Amino acid sequence: MDADVNLISKDNAGVFWEFNKRRIHIPFEPDGTAIYSKKYKIIVVMNIKPGDYSLNMKAYDLNGELKASILPYNKDELSYGYMSTSDRVDSGIVVVAGYKNRKDEFYDWQFEVDLKEFKISNCIDRAY
């Protein structure tokens, strides 16, 4: 069964969907976001607080149960900005993160959100 995932307005920051005749709601910070990976049937929620660039990303199954906290990229220290979609990665989800110093003339890069191992992996491309 495929879920219909809809974002709630910023007044009630969060994501909700219907599954097995239940309405599931996962709240997140007003600047947070959520993306549904159809391949893995997982909702990834990223909480974003102004001035806090640490990774606060969690993966939930369709029943609304926490599957895992996504681990940060282990090769370099990054400042995490926001999530987006990409057909270049298996999960369909990337996170844009920045290096303290430029790497190959750019600060911000896209990184894969790996939903097999629940971690940030593989630097994919420049963000802009």
Q: Both tokens of residue 48?
A: 């974003």
Q: Both tokens of residue 40?
A: 């893995």
pLDDT at residue 1 is higher than 90? no
pLDDT confidence of residue 8: 56
Instruction: Identify the helix (H) or strand (E) that includes residue 1.
Output: none
Q: For residue 30, give its domain range.
A: 4-126
Instruction: Count how many domains the chain has.
Output: 1
pLDDT confidence of residue 6: 63
The CA–CA distances, whole Å, from 110 to 27, 66, 68, 93, 118 equal 25, 24, 21, 10, 16
In the chain, % of residues over pLDDT 70: 91
Torsion of CA 75, 81, 83, 86, to 10 degrees: -60
Q: Both tokens of residue 19?
A: 């599954």
Which pTM does this prediction carry? 0.88
Over residues 53-77, the pLDDT tens digits come to 999 999 999 999 999 999 999 887 8
Give the mean pLDDT of 105-114.
Answer: 92
